[in-house]
Homo-oligomer: A and B are copies of this chain.
């Protein structure tokens, strides 16, 4: 998945090395590896940092591969499109997107129909307390706002990386047709038995109805909505062939136990 390599995560002036480690972990779970740190407050590349390593868990490769620069300009020099995370809009209004819209924008750049597929995209995250400055936001083509709780919008920086990274990954997987292939929505892809066909389901429903009459649970002269409700229930459950056989086996035993 080459597209993942063209996503750069930029963290500006991060205070806590643990947050850099957590961000590296979040990146790696989503398949991203290109991490650039702009003037981190307490992190020196090449020098072991216990807190950062602990939070990175199995993503120390991403953490140790991080590039450290002094300015945002340096961090995005080779980048085509820069998207910056922001609290709600500042003094000068700016194109504001939620993460899903931003992921769509990222895909426009990555999957450019002219085949310009080596264009890089940067997602920029600001300081823990104060975010990005107005000067830094002015260097971003798009501002992204995660629609947080109005009364508590204090998203951890690694959590913001996780949410944005997730949206971009989802967009890439959808573009590559992998979401459809891996998630059938209703049912797992590796269902172990073939689903029952409607003939088998109807056979079971008839058998069930007869049994319910036999045990005097269903009055054929006053059936009400019992059978339609039971049919709906079993249709919704989408039974497979083995399950239908089990159910018919149960009905058969009910019959035997009464004779």
Chain A contact residues, CB within 8 Å of chain B: 22, 25-26, 28-31, 57-59, 89, 92-101, 143, 145-149, 152-156, 158-159, 162-163, 166, 169-170, 173, 178-179, 182-192
B185 x A169 contact (CB < 8 A): no
**Complex partner residue of A29 from B159, B182, B187, B189, CB under 8 angstroms:** B159
A187 x B96 contact (CB < 8 A): yes
Instruction: With A100-B170, A156-B22, A163-B162 as known contacts, state yes or no: A94 contacts B149, CB within 8 Å.
Output: no
A-B complex: 4 closest residue pairs judged by Cβ atoms = A93-B188, A96-B188, A31-B149, A159-B162
B101 x A30 contact (CB < 8 A): no
B29 x A153 contact (CB < 8 A): yes
A97 x B185 contact (CB < 8 A): yes
B146 x A58 contact (CB < 8 A): no
Copies of this protein in the assembly total 2
| Bound: A159/B59 CA distance, A | 15
A190 x B89 contact (CB < 8 A): yes
| Bound: A145/B184 CA distance, A | 12
| Bound: A28/B148 CA distance, A | 9
Task: Please give me the residue from chain B that is nearest to A162 by CB atom.
Answer: B159
Q: Which of A166, A169, A179 has the most CB of B within 10 A?
A: A166
B159 x A98 contact (CB < 8 A): no
Task: Please give me the residue from chain B that is nearest to A98 by CB atom.
Answer: B183
Distance from A197 Cβ to chain B, minimum over Cβ atoms (Å): 19
A149 x B92 contact (CB < 8 A): no
Task: Please give me the residue from chain B that is nearest to A150 by CB atom.
Answer: B31
| Bound: A186/B141 CA distance, A | 11
Residues of B within 8 A of A89 (CB): 188-190
A-B contact pairs, 5 of them (CB 8 A): A59-B154, A93-B188, A97-B185, A98-B182, A155-B162
Contacts A98-B182, A159-B159 known; list 18 others, CB within 8 Å. Answer: A25-B154, A25-B156, A26-B159, A29-B148, A29-B149, A29-B152, A29-B154, A59-B152, A59-B154, A89-B189, A93-B187, A93-B190, A95-B187, A96-B189, A97-B183, A101-B183, A146-B166, A147-B178
